[in-house]
Amino acid sequence: MMDNWLKTSLLLCIFGFLKEIRPSEPYVTHFLVGHWKNFTTNEVYEQIYPVGTYSTLALLVLVFLVTDYVRHKPVIIADAAFGIAIYSILIWGQGIPLMQFMEVLYGGFMAGEVAYYTYIYASVDRDKYQMVSGHTRAAYLVGRCTSGVMAQVLVSTNAMDYLELNYITLGAMIAATAWAFLLPPTKSSIYFHRDKSIVPSQVGEERGEASIAEEPPQGRAARAFHFLWGDLKAAYTNMSVVKWSLWWALATCGYYQVLSYTQVIWEEIIQESGQQLYNGAVEALYTIIGALSALALGTLPLRWAVLGPPALASCALAQAATIYAIATTNDLWLAYACYIICLAAYQAMVTIASSEIAKQLKEESFGLIFGMNMFIALALQSILTLVVINWLKVPPRGQFVIYGSYFAVLGAGFVLVTLYSMIKGDWRGVTFKSLWLPKTQERAAASQ
């Protein structure tokens, strides 16, 4: 007999895997400007893609609250169903307005990930959270790699063209929607349907007194917002959470900009040079390299409290350099290599940042705090898109110079944070040896 939590984890992982099977995604720009749709690159990056960013931002809060209110499963099903609609429009739709509508749905699709990630916390016991998060992360990676490799092989062998890849994606979205019905419904949720048992044991010192001493607020919504506010306050008054979250949000904003618009640059390069695209392979490679580096960094017993700021600074500066290179090169291979380094570096550091943030939080508030950080990232991304693309109408290469500078400023900021902590004395007595956690402490941390 399989344990219940293991069964839930498996069901969730298969869903997560199916949802990542989107082999057409690395080629979506090429598809939109190709003879299938005949858009110009200008139309794609000025009129179509920005809608997705704005829509994700607009829908994130709504989806977060609705998810908590209706308890996950309906939102997960709807999310996958949005995937069906998106790829149906991509395949059969024509014209800019319809593609903009597709981007609105894509925003919902991205925002809907919240339901999938918070489902864990409502469906398995606390002591299994970490294990199940590990499983879903692995499912995501395997899905993305499979998808990238599949895309590359099918295209390189001429077995399929870029339109036909969309049929595979559509098939996977249909399968994911059907699979979502198998997920066990959750009985509790974190804010609107809080499990009674969570309240006394988990309401911590800060907010416990207040909420018990005062008359409890009337109504479910008021209570939900009360808990929500308490979690936000507890998290963002912690300096360590603030520092890592700041990098998390700023770097994620830049990461999504690079992710969304780099295909436009590759497209420009091949239009001049007539080279073949290897976007699928590149997608698979950066996913694998990012995951392996994250794993390696995560296993080393490094003292991140000290090493954090200089590591984040180096990561951002390396990203700045690679993005400048992408902005200026005419060599597709160099652009690919820089893209892989830039994204893999982000993936490795963001994993460390996430776990450093998570260490300081109660499990129930993971969803909220990461949702909040995501919201900040999206808000910044929307501002950046609005100013750089829709207002100043900077061409793609110019945009990448701006994104490179953005990371340079982020890196410089964390150099300052590092210097500040040195002046403050955090580095006093720090030797090469003391950057590693001693064995005993490591074991103590592991057994906690």
Ligand X SMILES: *[C@@H]1O[C@H](CO)[C@@H](O)[C@H](O)[C@H]1NC(C)=O
Q: Which residues bind ligand X (CB under 6 A)?
A: 35, 37-38, 94
Beta carbon nearer to ligand X, 33 or 332 = 33
Beta carbon nearer to ligand X, 34 or 413 = 34
Beta carbon nearer to ligand X, 38 or 130 = 38
Task: Tell me how far, at minimum, the Cβ of 49 lies from ligand X, in Å.
Answer: 19
Q: Where are the alpha helices (DSSP H) in 93-219?
A: 96-111, 113-123, 129-156, 162-180, 198-202, 205-213
Q: Where are the alpha helices (DSSP H) in 21-95?
A: 28-33, 41-43, 49-70, 73-92
**Half-sphere exposure at residue 445, Cβ-oriented, CA atoms within 13 angstroms:** 12
Task: Tell me how far, at minimum, the Cβ of 151 lies from ligand X, in Å.
Answer: 22
Task: Tell me how far, at minimum, the Cβ of 188 lies from ligand X, in Å.
Answer: 49
Strand partners for 302: 436
Contact 27, 174 (CB under 8 A): no
Instruction: For residues 26 and 150, give the distance between their C-alpha atoms in angstroms, rounded to a whole number.
Output: 11
Instruction: For residues 232 and 190, give the distance between their C-alpha atoms in angstroms, rounded to a whole number.
Output: 13
- The CB-nearest residue to ligand X is 38
Beta carbon nearer to ligand X, 41 or 319 = 41
Instruction: For residues 71 and 192, give the distance between their C-alpha atoms in angstroms, rounded to a whole number.
Output: 9
Beta carbon nearer to ligand X, 38 or 156 = 38
Task: Tell me how far, at minimum, the Cβ of 37 lies from ligand X, in Å.
Answer: 6
Task: Tell me how far, at minimum, the Cβ of 36 lies from ligand X, in Å.
Answer: 6
Task: Tell me how far, at minimum, the Cβ of 31 lies from ligand X, in Å.
Answer: 11
- The backbone torsions φ and ψ at residue 436, rounded to the nearest 5 degrees and listed phi first, read -100, 140
Beta carbon nearer to ligand X, 4 or 94 = 94
Beta carbon nearer to ligand X, 94 or 156 = 94
Beta carbon nearer to ligand X, 94 or 271 = 94
Task: Tell me how far, at minimum, the Cβ of 34 lies from ligand X, in Å.
Answer: 8
Beta carbon nearer to ligand X, 94 or 328 = 94
Residue among 140, 445, 425 nearest 294 (CA): 140
Q: What is the chain's Cα-based Rg?
A: 22
**Residue that is written with structure tokens 């592991």 in the block:** 446
Task: Tell me how far, at minimum, the Cβ of 33 lies from ligand X, in Å.
Answer: 10
Task: Tell me how far, at minimum, the Cβ of 389 lies from ligand X, in Å.
Answer: 25
| DSSP helix/strand/coil, 278 | coil
Taking each helix axis as running N to C, give the angle between helix 96-111 and helix 113-123, from 0 to 180 degrees, rounded to the nearest 10.
Answer: 20
Burial of residue 167, with CB atoms counted within 10 A of its CB: 0-12 exposed, 13-18 middle, 19 or more buried:
middle
Beta carbon nearer to ligand X, 92 or 432 = 92
| Torsion angle (degrees, nearest 10) of CA 310, 313, 314, 318 | 180
Strand partners for 436: 302
Q: Where are the alpha helices (DSSP H) in 237-331?
A: 239-273, 279-299, 304-328
Task: Tell me how far, at minimum, the Cβ of 171 lies from ligand X, in Å.
Answer: 23
Instruction: For residues 125 and 188, give the distance between their C-alpha atoms in angstroms, rounded to a whole number.
Output: 12
Task: Tell me how far, at minimum, the Cβ of 90 lies from ligand X, in Å.
Answer: 13
Beta carbon nearer to ligand X, 163 or 307 = 163
Residue among 404, 166, 116, 147 nearest 288 (CA): 147
- The residue count for the chain: 448
